[in-house]
Amino acid sequence: MPKAIGFAAQAADQALEYFEFERRDPTADDVEIEIAYCGVCHSDLHQARNEWGGTVFPCVPGHEIVGKVTRVGNKVSKYKVGDTVGVGCMVDSCRTCANCEDGYEQYCDNGFVGTYNGEDKHMGGVTFGGYSNRITVAQDFVLKVSDKLDLAGVAPLLCAGITTYSPLRHWGVTKGHKVGVVGLGGLGHMAVKIAKAMGAEVVLFTTSPNKVDDAKRLGADHVVISKDEEQMKAWRNSLDFILNTVAAPHDLDAYLTLLRLDGTMTLVGVPAESHPSPAVFNLIAKRRSLAGSLIGGIAETQEMLDFCAEHGITSDIEMIAMDEINEAYERMLKSDVKYRFVIDMATLKQK
Ligand code: NAP
Ligand code: ZN
Ligand code: ZN
C-alpha cells in the first residue's frame, strides 16, 4: 500500500505535527491523486480541536483538495492519469437513499463519509484528509477542475465555494435581490463574489473595520460594521436573503430584523457553542425564516466549479507552508485571514 505523509493532530489540545500513514491502492473504481494544494477551513480547526465532539485522533484535516491524478482503477471512466481534479468534504455516501439518489449526498440519510474523520470502509478507522501528499477517492466523489484558473485559488472552492453557492442557489438569489453576507472570512468572501456574480446587490456585515476596502474590492456594494447600531438600523426590513458564515455564537436578532417580508437567513457557520435563541417576535413579525445549509452535493459542486470558471472566480488566498499550519489556526481565531489559507503541499517533506 502506498505510504503517505501529512500533518495530524494527535489530541484536541496538541498542535498539528508530521505524521506517516498508509493510503489504499486504487480499487477498480478509485482515483489516486497527488495533492498540490489544500485549503484551510475553519471546520478543520473545529475538528482538530474536537470542538464539535466525535473527533478520532490522530486527525489529518483538510477537505479543499486539488491535485493531479497519478493512477486510476480499471473501471474508472471519468478521469485519466494527469488530469487536474478536486476533492471536497465528502469521499463517499450510501448512494442509495432518496437524498443520495436526488444528488444531495451531503444529506445522505445513512451519513456521508467525510474526507477526514469519516468511517473508512476500506482501511478501517477514520479517513485522513488533505493535509497530506496523496489521497485515493472513488471516482464519483472526484471533481473536474478547469486548467484556466489558478489552481491554489481553486482549492477553497471545494468547501468555501460550494457551501456558499448551494444556499445562494437554493434560495433563488438573482438580479434585483438584496443579499446580506455576515462575516468576511473564507466562506464570507466567496459568498460575496458568488452572490455578486449571480446579480445580487451585496451588503457585507463585518466586525472588522479594517476589512471594508477589501470587501468592496471583492464585490460588496455596501459594507456595514455590525457593531455599529446606527449602521445596522439603516438596513432594517430591507434584505431578501442573508447568508451567515460566522464561526462564533452571536445575536441572531440583530440580523433577522434586517430581513424584509418572507426573507430568510441561512446559517452556515457552526460555532462550538450554540447561538442564543432569537426572539420569536422577530420571525413572526415579517414571516421571516431562519434556516441552515450543509456544503452541497457532488453534481452541484461541479456546477459551482463550472460557474466559477465561467465567471473567473477563485478564492483570495494566502499561501502557507505545511509547517505554518498551527500559526494559521491562531490567526484564523483572530479573524486575521485574507481570505483563505492554502497549504502548498510541495513544502511537505518526508522526515
Ligand atoms: P473564517 O475564515 O474563520 O471566517 C469566519 C468569519 O466570521 C471571520 O473572518 C469574522 O469575519 C467572523 N467572525 C469570527 N468571529 C466572530 C465573532 N465572534 N463575532 C462576529 N463575527 C465573527 O471561517 P470559515 O472557514 O469561513 O468558516 C466559517 C464557519 O462555517 C465555521 O464555523 C465553519 O466550521 C463553518 N462551515 C460550515 C460549512 C457548512 O457546510 N455549513 C462548511 C464549511 C464551514 P469579520 O472579521 O468580517 O467579522
Ligand atoms: Zn470546510
Ligand atoms: Zn445516502
Pocket test for ligand 1, best of 40, 43, 267 (most atoms within 8 A of CB): 43
Query: Digits of tens for pLDDT over the chain (351 positions)?
Result: 999 999 999 999 999 999 999 999 999 999 999 999 999 999 999 999 999 999 999 999 999 999 999 999 999 999 999 999 999 999 999 999 999 999 999 999 999 999 999 999 999 999 999 999 999 999 999 999 988 889 999 999 999 999 999 999 999 999 999 999 999 999 999 999 999 999 999 999 999 999 999 999 999 999 999 999 999 999 999 999 999 999 999 999 999 999 999 999 999 999 999 999 999 999 999 999 999 999 999 999 999 999 999 999 999 999 999 999 999 999 999 999 999 999 999 999 999
Pocket test for ligand 1, best of 270, 338, 341 (most atoms within 8 A of CB): 270
269 burial type by CB count under 10 A (0-12 exposed, 13-18 middle, 19+ buried): buried
| Cβ 250 under 6 angstroms from ligand 1 | yes
Pocket test for ligand 1, best of 182, 268, 330, 341 (most atoms within 8 A of CB): 268
For the four alpha carbons of 56, 249, 112 and 39, in that order, the dihedral sign comes to: negative
**Ligand 2 centroid to 222 CA: how many Å?**
26
- Nearest residue (by CA) to ligand 1, atom 29, is 269
Q: Cα(224)–Cα(231) distance, rounded to whole angstroms? A: 6
- Tell if the pTM clears 0.95, that is, is over it: yes
| Cβ 63 under 6 angstroms from ligand 1 | no
Task: Fill in the amino acid letter for 230.
Answer: E
Print the SS3 string covering the chain. CCEEEEEEECCCCCCCEEEEEECCCCCCCEEEEEEEEEECCHHHHHHHCCCCCCCCCCECCCCCEEEEEEEECCCCCCCCCCCEEEECCEEECCCCCHHHHCCCHHHCCCCCEECCCCECCCCCCECCCCCECEEEEEHHHCEECCCCCCHHHHHHHHCHHHHHHHHHHHCCCCCCCEEEEECCCHHHHHHHHHHHHCCCEEEEEECCHHHHHHHHHHCCCEEEECCCHHHHHCCCCCEEEEEECCCCCCCCHHHHCCEEEEEEEEECCCCCCCCCCCCHHHHHCCCCEEEECCCCCHHHHHHHHHHHHHHCCCCCEEEEEHHHHHHHHHHHHCCCCCCEEEEEHHHCCCC
For the four alpha carbons of 56, 62, 64 and 68, in that order, the dihedral sign comes to: negative
How many residues can be counted in the chain? 351
| Cβ 270 under 6 angstroms from ligand 1 | yes
**Ligand 1 centroid to 110 CA: how many Å?**
27
